[in-house]
Amino acid sequence: MDNLYYKVKLYLEDNSKTESEFDSNILLQNDADGNGDYIKTWSVSGVAKPTDSQLNALATNATKELNNAVIRNTRKNSYGSIGDQLDLLYKDMLAGKGDSTGEWFKSIKAVKDANAKEDA
């Protein structure tokens, strides 16, 4: 379902719409019947429901978006709490290391390096 979500999201963006259209205008579904995910309802004003061909043309970029969403979530979980980050920043500032030599920067860089995003 995730990849269909990102294909539809990209299709909306290509048609000058936003992800917020999902809230009440689009319903994705999988009936567990072996036919996979599909668009059950589509009522986006001014934009026709995409064909399978249109969605498949977006597959590569949708996969990148999905992978990057997973990476962002992994990073978020790895960064630690905001309180811990602020504490590291405070200690770095006291030590005169409010730059790339500080512990906060090093910890954030390590997480980003270990969880690199795909190029868009």
Chain segment 87-104, per-residue pLDDT in tens: 999 999 999 999 999 999
Structure confidence by residue, pLDDT tens digits, 33-65: 999 999 999 999 999 999 999 999 999 999 999
Helix ranges restricted to H, the chain: 2-14, 22-25, 52-56, 59-79, 82-94, 103-114
pTM summary value:
0.75
